[in-house]
Amino acid sequence: MFHLQDKSLISLTNPKSLIAEQFRTVRTNIEFSRPDVDLRTIVVTSPNIAEGKSTITANLAVVFAQQGKRVLVIDSDLRKPTVHYTFHTENHIGLSNILTRQATLEKTVKITKQKNLWVLTSGPIPPNPLELLSSKGMSVLLKKAKNEYDIVILDSPPVLAVTDAQVLSSLTDGVVLIVSNGKTKIDSAKKTKELLKSVKAKILDVILNNKKVQENQYYYYGGK
């Protein structure tokens, strides 16, 4: 369970905090979720909007980078991108430019305040997000990214809003699903799981966000 302020990069600003420690627990869970697979590409998504997936994506990326791995965060939400806000960077050029062959990965990624962590923002919002994400260019980009980074984490649109997350899940090694306490309906969570399973996505972990807890209790609960 997590209870985070929006856009909080607590794993970077306060790495000794209880919540940062819980992100490291999530990292461990992910690493052991598929012991027979070299997990390199991970999608983070949620059933609906505003359930905390982008903040959790960023913090997961930070703790993987703190482990010494070269990490790339890709804002693959080409409808309502937020990664540039989280990492306080500009978004004039990004993923959409690469997928339309207007830019290259090497010249588009941006450094962050966290060592070993880079971000690829969304770039200008295109009129055809799904077509771009399901294009051959996206597969080529992910293959190239895996050659240059140890972990690639994709911040995806919500599953129930559009089909983008299903497409991305089918291209990657696994999915981390974020559900929000008091907001995500049980039926929505079940439907989300069914949609992901329909494209043979591997759910690595489920994170419950925005759960109010008493002092000295853990903020995280994960499972499948």
- Structural domains in the chain, sorted by start: 10-223 (3.40.50.300)
- pLDDT confidence of residue 220: 41
E runs forming strands in 46-188:
71-75, 110-111, 117-120, 151-155, 174-180
| Tokens describing residue 166 | 């299903």
- One-letter amino acid for residue 74 of the chain: I
Chain-centroid distance of CA 7 in Å reads 13
Residue 135 parent element (H or E): none
C-alpha 89, offset from chain centre: 17
Contact 70, 116 (CB under 8 A): yes
Q: Is 205 helix (H, G, I), strand (E, B) or coil?
A: strand
**What pLDDT is stored for residue 211 in this prediction?**
64
* CA 81 remoteness from chain centre: 12
What pLDDT score does 4 carry?
A: 47
Taking the C-alpha atoms of residue 8 and residue 113, their distance in angstroms, rounded to an integer, is: 14
One digit per residue, pLDDT tens: the chain, 224 residues?
A: 444 443 478 899 999 988 899 899 999 999 999 888 889 999 999 999 988 899 999 999 999 999 999 999 999 999 999 999 999 999 999 999 999 999 999 999 999 999 999 999 999 999 999 999 999 999 999 999 999 999 999 999 999 999 999 999 999 999 999 998 878 899 999 999 999 999 999 999 999 886 665 444 434 434 44
Helix (H) or strand (E) holding 207: strand 203-209
Give residue 209's pLDDT. Answer: 81
